[in-house]
Structure 1
Amino acid sequence: MTLNRSLLPLALAMGLSLASGAAQAQLITAHRGASYDAPENTLAAFKLAWEQGADAFEGDFYLTADGKIVCGHDKDAKRVAGSPLVMEKSTADELRALDVGSWKGAQWKGERMPLFKDVLDVVGDGRIFVEIKSGPKIVAPLLKQLGESGIPEDRITIICFNEAVTAECERLAPQIKTHWLTGFKKQKDGAWAPSVDEVLAKLKASRADGFGVQANPEHVDAEFLAKLADEGYDEFHVWTVDDADVARYYQKLGAWGITTNRPAWLREQLGLRKQLGLREKQHGLRAGGQ
């Protein structure tokens, strides 16, 4: 993606009012783990995210046919395992028997789809963005496992494109942050969908605390974000950003988080420094590293 430079003056002019000084504190979130280098949505990718200096990682989760929760993005396993197994119609054991690492490289052979509880075990002192891919029936068991994980609630964000799921999360666990997600498509008449008014309607219907949006500077610009902020929605994150100019654009606009496949590279591009913490000690990383 190439940033339209004509948008930058407006962004800079409005950035401080949107960010309230927060533009230097973005969370760098590893999309499906450090998925540029490791097979997405695997324990290997999540562990590598910490080694690459991510503040958080994001994973996708389905409820299986036998009531367990597994990590994977697509509705089936064709892309990552060459298997026709459908996530919600298969058992966890069937899905976990698949090799979901070899497609990324021989060194990843044997990587498996992790269970939700196994993913939670590697969060450590980092943060997790839990993207729900199933319908509302997943919410209660997912929240139960989150509660049993011991991860502080302020380090968990639940995200979902389905506003009914988001609303159910808010109903059952209002103390955990939820973000409603949306992408954007340009229509034949040149208009973008959804419009800012449509986004507002979805946010209100879902009772979300914030929102996650596809990083599209042509549409999701300072004016768009200011309209949402005027209605009380100023907490947002953008995905999936592997373009430094686009990342800087949303950094200026005060994005709460920036999701990327390349956390170490993007942190360096943005000049964001890390503070020494437990995770760095665990992985032998040096304080102040990029």
Structure 2
Amino acid sequence: MKNILVCLVCLFIAGDSMAQINDLSGCVTKPIVAAHRGASFTAPENTIASVMLAWQQGAPMVECDIHLTKDNRVIVMHDPNTRRTSGVFLNIADTNSAELRKLDVGSWKDPNRYKNEKMPFLEELIDTIPPGRMLLIEVKCGDKVMPYLQKIIEQSGKETQLAIISFNLDVVAASKKMMPKIPAYYLIGTEIDKETNKPKGHSLDLTKIAREKGLDGLDLHYAGVTENFAKQVLASNLELYTWTVDDPNEAIRLKGLGITGITTNKPDLMLEVLK
């Protein structure tokens, strides 16, 4: 499913923004900018406010995180509990969605602008996607959520605007088996060399793993992405996304490697830097 996200976003982006598309057939242009948890540098992460701001800023993609609640609702939140963004400690897996949605997850960012923002259901985020844009759904819990996620995707009417990412290889592999038309990407962090305290380059074995599992590509921490690694991944007919890039110099370096996309907390800045 080479470049499926590139093709889908291409249906919407026009004019100067067309350069957001990465033509891996040989002409390297601008990486696709994905807003990490929405425009999360400015607005409270993983909320409708953050996602809407990202769309307004022109982000071709938004990334979000999901968990499964006690009553089997798919809710948007990064952490397994609510303490960091609400000040109240509730484990999402042990709490019904109605209780979770009573919490204010916006005031921690800016009480004057975002008071009473609540945790959205995934369906609510999907409803915000403009034509031609994409939502990257990161599964933060285990594969128990997959049947519920599949139902939401199939009933959304926006299947071609959705993709799945996860650090759990079993989750993304299961996603491809259950929903073969939905792009799936394996998330990996960067290892640090204990002797030099510098980032190690990503292993080329990741390319083999992605191909064996039938995945569409990799979504990797940027520090381990070297020129040789990027060439090998892209030559293997896989897409290569990177996270989380807020440094303009790093974004320019990655652009030079021909990567498919960059996830950032600052979509407005990255769109300007990469234009």
Equivalent pairs, count: 250
Q: Which amino acid aligns with 2:71?
A: D
Q: Assess if the C-alpha contact under 8 Å between 1:196 and 1:227 holds in 2.
A: no
In structure 1, C-alpha distance between the alignment counterparts of 2:200 and 2:211, rounded to whole Å:
17
Q: Which amino acid aligns with 1:214?
A: H
Q: Assess if the C-alpha contact under 8 Å between 1:20 and 1:254 holds in 2.
A: no
Does 2:248 align with 1:262? no
* Shift, 1:94, TM fit: 1.5
Unaligned runs of at least 5 residues, structure 1: 1-17, 272-290
Of the candidates 112, 122, 125, which is equivalent to residue 118 of structure 2?
A: 112
In structure 1, C-alpha distance between the alignment counterparts of 2:27 and 2:93, rounded to whole Å:
40
In structure 2, C-alpha distance between the alignment counterparts of 1:23 and 1:32, rounded to whole Å:
27
Q: TM-score, normalised by structure 2?
A: 0.85
In structure 1, C-alpha distance between the alignment counterparts of 2:232 and 2:211, rounded to whole Å:
14
Q: Which amino acid aligns with 1:66?
A: D
Q: Could you list the per-position Cα deviations for residues 210-266 of structure 1 after superposition, in whole angstroms to 9, with x for gaps in the alignment?
A: 0101111xx311112223345x25311111111111111111111111111111121
Aligned-residue RMSD, C-alpha: 1.9
Q: Which amino acid aligns with 1:137?
A: K
Does 2:240 align with 1:236? yes
In structure 2, C-alpha distance between the alignment counterparts of 1:269 and 1:76, rounded to whole Å:
35
Q: Which amino acid aligns with 2:217?
A: G
Q: Assess if the C-alpha contact under 8 Å between 1:136 and 1:164 holds in 2.
A: yes
Q: Secondary structure at the match of 1:102?
A: coil
Mapping 1:1-290, distance limit 5 Å: 19-106=24-111, 107-125=113-131, 126-153=133-160, 155-190=161-196, 195-204=202-211, 206-216=213-223, 219-230=224-235, 232-271=236-275
Q: Which amino acid aligns with 2:149?
A: L
Q: Secondary structure at the match of 1:104?
A: coil
* Shift, 1:202, TM fit: 3.8
* Structure 1 stretches of at least 4 aligned residues deviating more than 6 Å after TM superposition: none
* Shift, 1:195, TM fit: 4.5
Using the aligned pairs only, state the percent identity.
Answer: 34
Q: Which amino acid aligns with 2:140?
A: K
Q: Assess if the C-alpha contact under 8 Å between 1:31 and 1:57 holds in 2.
A: yes
Q: Secondary structure at the match of 2:120?
A: coil
* Shift, 1:205, TM fit: 5.3
* Shift, 1:141, TM fit: 1.1
Q: TM-score, normalised by structure 1?
A: 0.81
* Shift, 1:143, TM fit: 1.5
Q: 1:229 to 1:50 in 2, by over 3 A?
A: closer
